[in-house]
Amino acid sequence: MSKSIFVSFLRPPVGSTFFVEGLRVAGGLVRAEDHHKVTVAFIGKGARCAIRGAERSYAVKFLDFFPATGGKKFYVEEESLKEEGIDRSLVADEFAVATRKELGQMMLSSDLCISF
């Protein structure tokens, strides 16, 4: 049975394995036989993952799990970018910027929320 799953990253991409493990879990959910709808959002310190040119070589194999269409874009919270002092022009192309309210609605409409 297909589920709507919201995966959020709240920690910076360095200093822990949360980023890589979270992408592994989210990618596995995307590839599951039940074809889950997985939304991935980077919030708080996790917004640092969205910076263009950030080192992601350790996570590339998990990013490839996400289909090229209908799910390739990840979300980064607009308010977190401001709080972290990250200019919107520095956000990598694979990220869509969404407001806290928009992400909150996505969370509320999901069957399951997982945070890393």
Q: Looking at residues 86-113, what average pLDDT do you find? A: 94
Q: Is the pLDDT score of 42 beyond 90?
A: yes
Across the range 27-55, mean pLDDT stands at: 84
pLDDT digits (tens, 9 = 90+) for 47-97: 988 899 877 777 777 777 776 555 556 899 999 999 999 999 999 988 899
Q: How confident is the model over 9-18, as pLDDT tens digits? A: 888 776 667 7
- Confidence at residue 70, expressed as pLDDT on a 0 to 100 scale: 55
Task: Give residue for tokens 């977190």.
Answer: 80
Which comes out higher in pLDDT, residue 26 or 44?
Answer: 44
Q: What are phi and psi of 51, to 5 degrees?
A: -70, 130
Q: Which long-range contacts (CB under 8 A, 24 or more apart) does 85-94 make?
A: 86/47, 86/48, 86/50, 86/51, 90/51, 90/52, 91/50, 91/51, 91/52, 92/50, 92/51, 92/52, 92/53, 92/54, 93/52, 94/63
pLDDT of 104 = 96
The band of 27, judged by pLDDT with boundaries at 50, 70 and 90, is confident
